[in-house]
Amino acid sequence: MVKKRVLNSKMKDILLVLHKKGGAMSANEISKETGISYITVNKYLTQLIKKGVIIEHATKKVSKKSN
């Protein structure tokens, strides 16, 4: 059985900003772009990394995972 990836609206907003900006961004940059608090962005980034949706770079920036 394949586990579905469930994304809430804030996760989708984060992914949309990453896609529009076309590259790696810090949690602080994403927070400023989306209006979502830094704490919330950081929480969702951690979840998205664990789900394998995005990857974290050594610079502490994240980007969409390329297929």
Helix, coil or strand: residue 36: coil
Picking from 8, 10, 58, the residue whose alpha carbon sits closest to that of residue 18 is 10
pLDDT at 3: 63
Q: What is the pTM of this model?
A: 0.81
Q: H/E element holding 56? A: strand 54-56
Q: Is the pLDDT of residue 67 over 80?
A: no
Q: How far, in Å, are 4, 6, 53 from residue 1 at the CA level?
A: 9, 15, 19
Q: CA–CA separation, 12 vs 21, rounded Å?
A: 14
Q: CA–CA separation, 51 vs 41, rounded Å?
A: 15
What domains sit in the chain, N to C, each tagged with a CATH number?
A: 9-64 (1.10.10.10)
Per residue in 8-62, pLDDT (tens digit) is: 999 999 999 999 988 789 999 999 999 999 999 999 999 999 988 999 887 777 8
